[in-house]
Amino acid sequence: MPYKTIHVEASRSYDILIGNDILSKAGEIIGPIVGNCRLGLLTDSTVDKLYGKRLTDILTASGYTIHKYVIPSGEASKCADNLLKFLNFLAEHHLTRSDAIIAFGGGVVGDMAGLAAALYLRGVKYVQIPTTLLAAVDSSVGGKTAIDIPAGKNLVGAFYQPSIVCCDTKLMDTLAPEVYRDGCAEVIKYGIILDKNLYATLKTPQFDRESVVARCVEIKRDVVQQDEFDNGLRGLLNYGHTFGHAIEKLSNFEVSHGSAVAKGMLIAARLANLCSLSNITKEVEELLTMYGFDLSCNYSADELFASILSDKKRRGDNITIVLPYSIGDCRLVTFTIEELHDKLKKILD
Ligand code: GLY
């Protein structure tokens, strides 16, 4: 097989196939997994314009009947209204339990299609075909599915693993530079949390995409296999995310996820420094700057803290933050909320 294959052992076990131009083989690849069925394809307007017809042609040539549903690009589409409309679309086309859903897009499409798969007829198979670097290394792997509700991002969801992930790194050629850079933030995250060799590779921003995506997926696979339902270790994948989500929310999602995570990773490094756990702030700042991230935080400690209080990761009066001990070694550190507030003031004010 000319593709990199990474196997995940979880409540549903599956392969993640990574390769340049793997899309052209999508029909043959999914055949043994979903069988002879009809496919409810969810995509967004940007991906549809670029690759929608191509994927439909490829799958039709392999004998599949496709029912395509297109949502507008952007986070605002990951809502209950679109989820219900998509579920209704599947029902109107009489898809049955032996049919399958395809998620063809970035994180918004992947998260919503996954949740639709978990809910439709109490569960049908789904295939992830990520088209962004961010979806390839994060949201398409590990079975976290969700939609946003007015009270917050990803607050309604389910753990529901895909049946296969088919990741074509060539599709990333057409990503807008800022969208590609968003994915780089997650890639850098993997280096900082668990792999100093990967981190060293990333000092060359023109890294080999296939092998870097494969390494990030392996790291995520190893974590998910140990803690599929996010009761401990999986929290490491949230490095930079507690502060990042708070910044995203405060900016009304004007700051993209990757840019917010980059800012969040630097704040977490500064917090580790303040707690005398490590001093990698300068190194992290230099690497993120090399990738073009604006690392300024336009919010005060009070504003950030208020936003963090509604974070899913808060448990009672405690909150657990991922902090770097060194590059490649991050750990979960629990603070009382007062302690965290105090330390944020020292860092940001
Ligand atoms: N995106 C973090 C996780 O999948 O756990």
Q: pLDDT tens-digit profile of 295-313?
A: 999 999 999 999 998 766 6
Q: pLDDT tens-digit profile of 66-103?
A: 999 999 999 999 999 999 999 999 999 999 999 999 99
Q: How far is the CA of 253 from the centre of ligand 1 (A)?
A: 19
Class of domain 4-174: alpha beta
Q: How far is CA 257 from CA 86, 180, 252, in A?
A: 25, 12, 11
Phi (first) and psi of residue 30, to 5 degrees? -80, -20
Q: Which ligand 1 atom is nearest residue 141's CA?
A: 4
For residue 209, give every residue at least 6 positions away whose Cβ sits within 8 Å of its Cβ, in sequence order, or none: 133, 169, 172
Residue nearest to ligand 1 atom 3, measured at CA: 237
d(CA 103, CA 101): 7
Q: Which ligand 1 atom is nearest residue 238's CA?
A: 2
* Per-domain residue ranges of the chain: 4-174, 177-207+231-348
d(CA 249, CA 264): 13
Q: Which ligand 1 atom is nearest residue 224's CA?
A: 5
Q: How far is the CA of 181 from the centre of ligand 1 (A)?
A: 18
- The rounded percent of the chain whose pLDDT value lies above 90 is 95
* Closest listed residue to residue 52, CA positions, set 126, 120, 111, 131: 131
Mutate to test the pocket of ligand 1, among 111, 134, 228, 237 (most ligand atoms within 8 A of CB): 237
Q: Averaged over 193-197, what is the pLDDT?
A: 98
* Closest listed residue to residue 94, CA positions, set 69, 121, 127, 63: 121
Mutate to test the pocket of ligand 1, among 161, 220, 229 (most ligand atoms within 8 A of CB): 220
d(CA 197, CA 329): 12
| pLDDT for the residue 221 | 98
Q: pLDDT tens-digit profile of 12-59?
A: 999 999 999 999 999 999 999 999 999 999 999 999 999 999 999 999
Mutate to test the pocket of ligand 1, among 186, 234, 312, 320 (most ligand atoms within 8 A of CB): 234
Q: How far is the CA of 145 from the centre of ligand 1 (A)?
A: 10
The b/e string for 95-120 (b: 16+ C-beta within 10 A; e otherwise) is beeebbbbbbbbbbbbbbbbbbbbbb
| pLDDT for the residue 153 | 85
Q: Which ligand 1 atom is nearest residue 230's CA?
A: 5
Q: Which ligand 1 atom is nearest residue 234's CA?
A: 5
Q: How far is the CA of 58 from the centre of ligand 1 (A)?
A: 30
d(CA 221, CA 224): 5
Long-range contacts of the stretch 95-98 (C-beta < 8 A, 24+): 95/38, 95/40, 95/67, 95/120, 95/124, 96/121, 97/121, 97/123, 97/124, 98/35, 98/37
| pLDDT for the residue 16 | 98
**Considering the domain 177-207+231-348 in this protein, what is its CATH number?**
1.20.1090.10
At 155, is the secondary structure helix, strand, or coil? Answer: strand
In this model, does residue 1 exceed pLDDT 60?
Answer: no
Q: Which ligand 1 atom is nearest residue 142's CA?
A: 4
Q: pLDDT tens-digit profile of 47-70?
A: 999 999 999 999 999 999 999 999
Phi (first) and psi of residue 329, to 5 degrees? -140, 95
Q: Which residue has the tokens 């995940």?
A: 8
Q: How far is CA 202 from CA 47, 208, 283, in A?
A: 27, 9, 12
Q: How far is the CA of 276 from the centre of ligand 1 (A)?
A: 27
**What would the DSSP string read from start to end of 185-224?**
HHHHHHHHHH-HHHHHHTTSSS--HHHHHHHHHHHHHHHH
Helices 257-274 and 177-194, axial angle in degrees (round to 10): 30
| pLDDT for the residue 40 | 98
Q: Which ligand 1 atom is nearest residue 144's CA?
A: 4
At 232, is the secondary structure helix, strand, or coil? Answer: coil
Q: How far is the CA of 236 from the centre of ligand 1 (A)?
A: 9
At 121, is the secondary structure helix, strand, or coil? Answer: helix
* Pocket around ligand 1 at a 6 A CB cut-off: 138, 142, 144, 230, 234, 237
Residues in the chain: 349
Residue nearest to ligand 1 atom 2, measured at CA: 237
d(CA 147, CA 116): 10
Q: How far is the CA of 342 from the centre of ligand 1 (A)?
A: 28
Q: How far is CA 316 from CA 219, 272, 310, 335, in A?
A: 30, 22, 11, 11
Q: Which ligand 1 atom is nearest residue 235's CA?
A: 5
d(CA 310, CA 220): 26
Sign of CA dihedral 141, 127, 59, 177: negative
**345 burial level (CB within 10 Å; 0-12, 13-18, 19+):** middle
